[in-house]
Chain A
Amino acid sequence: MVTADLVNSLYVFILAAFIGFEVIRRVSPLLHTPLMSLTNALDAIAVVGAIILAGEHKSTLATVLGTIAIVAATSNAVGGFIITDRMLKMFKSSRTQKP
């Protein structure tokens, strides 16, 4: 069972890495800063692991560490999405700018 999980996880990892390379290679250098802040925000999905950890309450240590982890990840998600959107809002083409 453990091996099956491992093999599945490896499949997902390898396929996702390929998709990542292909998709991100196409991102314009113009948007590399928003790219980094957006991937950072998406990475905050680690919060789901922290939620389960803190919510299951298996030990005090797990709950404490889990709660701190939720704070760290949530602030990344919230801050990351806000700043990415603020940056992208500023990018205007000269065609749309001139009325």
Chain B
Amino acid sequence: MTPASEYVIEITYIVAAVLFILALKWLSSPVTARRGVWAGEAGMVLAVAGTLLYHGIVDYKWLAIGLVLGTIIGVPLGNVGMTAVPQRTALSHAFGALCVTLVGTAEFYLRAPNVPPFMMSVLSLEVILGGLTVTGSLMAAGKLQEILPQRPITYKGQNFVNLTMLAIAVAIAVRLVLHPEAVVLYPFMVGIALVFGVMMIVPIGGADMPTVISLLNSYAGLSAAAMGFVLNSKLLIVAGSLDGASGFILSVNMSKAMNRSFTNVLFGAFGQVQASSAAAVEARPVHSATPEEAAAILSAANKVVIVPGYGMAVAQAQHKVRELYDLLTKKGVDVKFGIHPVAGRMPGHMNVLLAEADIPYDKLMDMDEANPDFPQTDVALVIGANDVTNPAARSDAGSPIYGMPILDVDKARTVMVIKRSMNPGFAGIDNPLYYLDNTLMLFGDAKAFVGSIVRELSGGGGHG
């Protein structure tokens, strides 16, 4: 009954599962992380090679075409710039979920109308989660790439419409579980899941993307695990659960870092609630400084913490920041970076951008490491970050970001903020940090301003 090749295939799958777990284990430290990628690649190649031995395969032509075409598309997707990594990641969630949804759909039509209830339940879970992840991730990628408007789009009764759609999809799934012969209903279930994915992301703004990408990651993983149940493939269940667990942990991290619940991210668009606090604080005086003054203060400091935000990436200022880091370090200044978990557009994005600019990773501190350091810091230099430094989150119970953990830059002796103008940040919330007596505003483009400081420090201005 079972040819010998079946055992060979199973063994390749078991080895692949072990390699996948090792891959993630090795990712715990930057020292061993690359070994993790190799383990993952080895597992993947092994499992695919094993599968190709499967005796039931009668035609290799389409497999070859699929594998070659996939590789041709995959190579450029692996070589995008580091600022584009969030949208690439969103796109890959969409591709992963597309694969799962298509396979689920094909399995349904191969088996229908004789689908056992349990199989139909997981299959429905697979294609509903898969379907909403496909369109949801495409929407997220579009917003991140700025093909679609980044501002949240909301309308009255939005949550009601969305929840009703999801409820209808689930109701169809239940009906199919009880009566799988109602094959005509299947396309409606998938169709509603696809539309729901779009509607789910419409009200979500750019600043919430780190949470949403993580959540979509989790959905993609869970749908793959469900596919493993349908196909009775243990390897797929393992890979799907690992992906689902990782997305879940990251979503929880991101939500905590914004002091918001999943439901709040998904159902309450940001940027709606700040009207009350913003109106009262027009036209308060701020202190500003020139690049020369900033350079003099920085070179007199012992300890500097740079706080980068997404604005630094937008201005492509990271390489200038690296020059600043080099010059100050050479002068004996202790320079570190304080990184908020939601800085950037996906978890850990800022670390990647700084690593790309050749800043050593042991100089990058996460929020828990950085905060105890600020009272002993001479200068906190904020580049392109706003809400994550807003002291109103600690003190002003009326602020929409009240309770969100922030980087306590205001506790440093001097705070310098590079900013284009006094316009409020992405979430549209006013930042009292800018009006403090120990805050200096450095008005200008992040890249140009840091460039001017660098020129001053390297001897141009004679302040050395």
Contacts and interface: CB of A to CB of B under 8 A. Distances in A.
Nearest to B35: A88
A40 B352 contact: no
B67 interface: yes
B20 interface: yes
Contacts of B3: none
A27 to B, nearest CB: 5
Interface string A39-71: 111111111111111111111011101111111
B106 A62 contact: yes
B30 A78 contact: no
A33 B24 CA distance: 13
A62 B242 CA distance: 27
Given A52-B57, A72-B99, A33 B85 contact: yes
Contact of B48 (A25, A48, A66, A82): A48
Contacts of B355: 87, 90-92
A22 B241 CA distance: 12
A39 B243 CA distance: 5
A64 to B, nearest CB: 8
B245 A76 contact: no
Nearest to B67: A74
A42 B30 contact: no
A82 B109 CA distance: 35
Interface string B1-42: 000000000000100100011011101111101101100110
Contacts of A86: 78-79
A28 B246 contact: no
B314 to A, nearest CB: 17
B33 A20 contact: no
A59 B110 contact: yes
Determine the interface band of chain A, counting residues with CB < 8 A from chain B.
35 or more
Given A23-B21, A57-B58, A79-B75, A42 B27 contact: no
Nearest to A44: B96
A70 to B, nearest CB: 3
B6 to A, nearest CB: 12
A49 B453 CA distance: 56
Interface in B217-247: 217, 220-221, 224-225, 227-229, 231-247
A28 B347 CA distance: 11
B71 interface: yes
Given A9-B234, A65-B103, A34 B33 contact: yes
B62 interface: yes
Interface in A1-32: 2, 5-6, 8-9, 12-13, 16-17, 19-21, 23-32
Contacts of B231: 49, 52
B233 to A, nearest CB: 6
A75 B33 contact: no
Nearest to B29: A28
Nearest to A41: B40
Residue in A29, A39, A67 with the greatest tally of chain B CB atoms within 10 Å = A39
Nearest to B228: A9
Given A34-B352, A36-B213, A55-B56, A97 B232 contact: no
Contacts of A75: 70-71, 73-74, 77, 95
B379 interface: no
Contacts of B348: 29-36
B167 interface: no
A13 B27 contact: no
B439 interface: no
Contacts of A97: 358, 360
B103 A66 contact: yes
B356 A72 contact: no
A78 B242 contact: no
Given A34-B352, A49-B236, A74-B67, A29 B366 contact: yes
The 4 closest A-B pairs by CB, nearest first: A74-B70, A82-B78, A78-B74, A70-B66
Given A23-B25, A45-B224, 8 more contacts: A17-B244, A38-B40, A41-B44, A45-B20, A54-B63, A68-B98, A71-B66, A82-B78
